[in-house]
Amino acid sequence: MKLNENLINDFIDYIRFERRLSKNTIVSYQRDLEKYRFFLNRSKIKEILKVSNDQILYFLEFLYKTQNSSSVSRILSTLRTFYKYLVRDGKILKNPFSSIKNPKLPKKILEILDEQEVKKFLESIPTSSYLELRDKAMFELLYSCGMRVSEIVDLKLSDIDFDEGLIRFIGKGNKERITPVGDSAKDCLGKYIRAARYNLERERKSENVFLNRNGQKMTRQGFWKILKKYAGKVNTSKNLYPHLFRHSYATHMLERGADLRIVQELLGHSSISTTEIYTNINKKHVKETYFKYHPRDKGKSS
C-alpha cells in the first residue's frame, strides 16, 4: 500500500516540477488518483503496478456506478497519463489503460452571451466606489482579453504595458501569452489603478493587480461572489459564469472575421481543434450572413 502512495506522490512531483502543470490541474489529478487508490484498497489490490485486466473491468464497473460519464472520462484520462509516466520511468512495460476507451459524451451546446448582453452587463456595473472601479476593470478585462479567472486573480502590475496596450500573463499549463487590451478595458484598468487600488492596498504591499477589500490578493471564490452579485441585477435567463465571457469573446471575434489561428493564439490553446468548437456555435450567424451577402440569394434584387 505504501508503494502505491509513493508512486502517486512521485507522479504528482513529476507533473508539478517537470511538466509544470497548473495548481488546479494537479489537484484534479490528485482527486482522480485518490479515487483509484480507494478502489485498490477496497479491493485489496496491493500493488498499483500489477493490475490485471479483470481488476480494471471491476474498476470500470465501480466508476460507472459512482460517477457520471464526464467524470469517468476524466479519471480514465488521468490513469492513462499516470501509467504512461510509470512506463516512461521503467516501472512497468505496458500501460494497462492504453486500450481503455473513454465513454462517448453527448455534445454540449456551448452557450454564449451576444454582444448586446455583454454590453448590458458591463454597463450595469457602477463606478462610484473603489470596489466598483475594481469590479468594472476586472469584468472589462475578462471579456476584452478572453481571460480565465485564474489569470485575472494572478495578474501582476508588471504584466501590464499601458503604452503598448498589451498584457502578459501565465495561462493554463504555465504557458505565457501576450494579448492586446481594448480601449474600454484599458481605460477602466487605468482608472482603477490610479484612483482605487492604492486605497485598497493601504499599508499592505502587493504586486497583484486585483485586491479584495482587505488589501489581499483577489481569490477565485471572491471573483465568483462578485459576479453572482452583479448577475442578480441583470435581467437575463442565462447562467452567468466567468468562462461564459471567454466563450463569448472567442465567438464574437470569429463572427467579426478574425482568423481562427489568431483566436487560437489569443486564447492560448495548444491545439486548434480546441478553438474550433467556437466555429460550431454560430451556425445561425453564418446562415444570416449568407443570406445577407450572397449575390445569388433569392431575397436580393438583381
Which residues have a catalytic role annotated?
Answer: 148, 172, 243, 246, 269, 278
Is residue 277 within a helix (H) or strand (E), and if so which, with residue range? none
State the alpha helices, DSSP H only, in the chain: 2-13, 23-42, 53-66, 69-88, 115-123, 130-145, 149-153, 183-195, 197-201, 220-231, 242-255, 260-267, 272-275, 283-293
Q: Which of 183, 111, 116, 112 is nearest to 145 (CA)?
A: 183
Q: Which of 109, 70, 74 is nearest to 278 (CA)?
A: 109
Q: Are 133 and 127 in contact (CB under 8 A)?
A: yes
Task: List Cα–Cα distances, 103 to 73, 106, 189, 291, in angstroms.
Answer: 6, 10, 44, 39
Q: Is 112 exposed, middle or buried (0-12, 13-18, 19+ CB in 10 A)?
A: buried
- Cα angle, residue 12 at apex, residues 55 and 216 outer, rounded to 5°: 135
Q: Are 98 and 66 in contact (CB under 8 A)?
A: no
